[in-house]
Amino acid sequence: MIIIAGPCAIESYDQAMRIAEFVYQAGATMYRGGAFKPRSSPDDFQGMGEEGLYILSDIRKFMPVVTEATQIHHVNMVANNCDMIQVGSRNMHNVELLKAVGKTGKDILLKRGYAALLEEEWINSYRYIEKEREYYCKQGTTYMCERGIRTYEKYTRNTLDLSVVPFLKNKGHQVIVDPSHATGRPDLVIPLSLAAVAAGANGIMVEVHDRPDEAKCDGHQALSFHQFTELVDKVTHLKQFMENNFDEN
Ligand code: PEP
Ligand code: MN
What are 184-234's pLDDT values in tens digits? 999 999 999 999 999 999 999 999 999 999 999 999 999 999 999 999 999
Query: Taking a C-beta distance cutoff of 8 angstroms, is the pair 234, 220 a contact?
Result: no
Per-residue DSSP letter, 139: -
CA dihedral over 242, 243, 247, 249, signed as positive or negative: positive
CA dihedral over 14, 221, 176, 47, signed as positive or negative: negative
Residue ranges near ligand 2 (ion) with Cβ within 5 Å: 8, 218
Q: Which ligand 1 atom is nearest residue 90's CA?
A: 8
Which bound ligand lies closest to the C-alpha atom of 219?
2
Q: Is 33 in the pocket of ligand 1 (CB under 6 A)?
A: no
Q: Is 157 in the pocket of ligand 1 (CB under 6 A)?
A: no
Residue 248 has pLDDT above 80, yes or no: no
The residue nearest atom 9 of ligand 1, judged by CA position, is 89
Which bound ligand lies closest to the C-alpha atom of 184?
2
DSSP 198-219: HTT-SEEEEEB-SSGGG-SSSG
Strands in the chain per DSSP E = 2-6, 30-32, 65-68, 84-87, 107-111, 142-146, 174-177, 203-207
In whole angstroms, what is the distance from residue 42 CA to residue 73 CA?
21
Region 17-45: mean pLDDT is 96
The pLDDT, as a whole number, for residue 247 is 79
The residue nearest atom 5 of ligand 1, judged by CA position, is 88
**What is the architecture of the domain spanning 2-245?**
Alpha-Beta Barrel (3.20)
> Which residues share a beta bridge with 205?
4
Residue 249 has pLDDT above 90, yes or no: no
Q: How far, in Å, from the CA of 148 to the mean position of ligand 1? A: 10
Residue 173 has pLDDT above 70, yes or no: yes
